Amino acid sequence: MPELRKDPIIGRWIIIATDRAKRPSDFISKPEEPIIGFCPFCKGNEGKTPPEVLAYRKQGTLPDTPGWSVRVVPNKFPALQIEGGLNKQGVGLYDRMNGVGAHEVIIETPDHNLSLADLPLEIFFQVLQAYKDRIIDLKKDHRFHYILIFKNNGQAAGASLDHSHSQLIALPIVPKRVSEEIRGAKTYFLYRDRCIFCDIIQQEIETMLRIVTENKDFIAVCPFASRFPFETWVLPKKHNVYFEDTPFSQLQSLGEILKDILQRISLTLNDPPYNFLIHTTPFYEKDVSYYHWHIEVIPKLTKVAGFEWGTGFYINPTPPEDACKFLREAKP
CB of 29 to a copy of itself, least distance (A): 13
Stretch that binds a copy of itself, among 50-58, 76-84, 135-143, 281-289 (CB under 8 A): 76-84
Query: Which is the catalytic residue, given 103, 165, 292, 294?
Result: 165
The DSSP code sequence of 171-201 is: ESS--HHHHHHHHHHHHHHHHHSS-HHHHHH
Comparison of 24 and 282: residue with beta carbon closer to a copy of itself:
282
Answer yes or no whether residue 74 interacts with a copy of itself by CB under 8 A.
no
Residue 299, CA distances (Å) to 8, 137, 143 in order: 22, 30, 33
Restricted to residues 236-275, the positions that interact with a copy of itself (CB under 8 A) are: 275
CB of 66 to a copy of itself, least distance (A): 28
Comparison of 60 and 306: residue with beta carbon closer to a copy of itself:
306
Restricted to residues 172-191, the positions that interact with a copy of itself (CB under 8 A) are: 172-173, 175-178, 180
Whether 247 contacts 235, CB under 8 Å: no
Comparison of 200 and 262: residue with beta carbon closer to a copy of itself:
200
Answer yes or no whether residue 211 interacts with a copy of itself by CB under 8 A.
no
Candidate residues 61, 121, 205, 207; the one interacting with a copy of itself per rule CB under 8 A: 207
Separation CA 278–CA 178 (nearest Å)? 11
Restricted to residues 99-138, the positions that interact with a copy of itself (CB under 8 A) are: 99
Restricted to residues 20-49, the positions that interact with a copy of itself (CB under 8 A) are: 20
The DSSP code sequence of 8-56 is: TTT--EEEE-GGG---GGGG--PPPPP--S--TTSTT-GGGSSPPSEEE
Comparison of 62 and 91: residue with beta carbon closer to a copy of itself:
91
Three-state DSSP string of 155-167: HHHCCCCCCCEEE
Stretch that binds a copy of itself, among 28-36, 134-142, 164-172, 241-249 (CB under 8 A): 164-172
CB of 226 to a copy of itself, least distance (A): 12
Separation CA 330–CA 268 (nearest Å)? 6
Stretch that binds a copy of itself, among 17-25, 55-63, 130-138, 246-254 (CB under 8 A): 17-25
Count, residues near a copy of itself per rule CB under 8 A: 75
- The vertex-246 CA angle with 273 and 6, nearest 5°, equals 55
Strand order from edge to edge, sheet including 102-107: 54-57, 68-74, 102-107, 165-171, 146-153, 274-279, 294-299, 232-236, 218-221, 211-214
103 flagged as catalytic = no
Candidate residues 44, 51, 247, 312; the one interacting with a copy of itself per rule CB under 8 A: 312
The DSSP code sequence of 238-300 is: S----GGG--HHHHHHHHHHHHHHHHHHHHHHTS--EEEEEE---TT--S-SS---EEEEEE-
Residue 67, CA distances (Å) to 53, 61, 115, 209 in order: 15, 6, 19, 45
Answer yes or no whether residue 205 interacts with a copy of itself by CB under 8 A.
no
Candidate residues 36, 62, 93, 190; the one interacting with a copy of itself per rule CB under 8 A: 93
Stretch that binds a copy of itself, among 129-137, 163-171, 281-289, 320-328 (CB under 8 A): 163-171
Separation CA 265–CA 260 (nearest Å)? 9
CB of 68 to a copy of itself, least distance (A): 23
Candidate residues 35, 51, 61, 97; the one interacting with a copy of itself per rule CB under 8 A: 97
Residue window 47-66: x/- pattern of binding to a copy of itself, with contact defined by CB under 8 A: --------------------
Length of the chain counted residue by residue: 332
Active site residues: 165
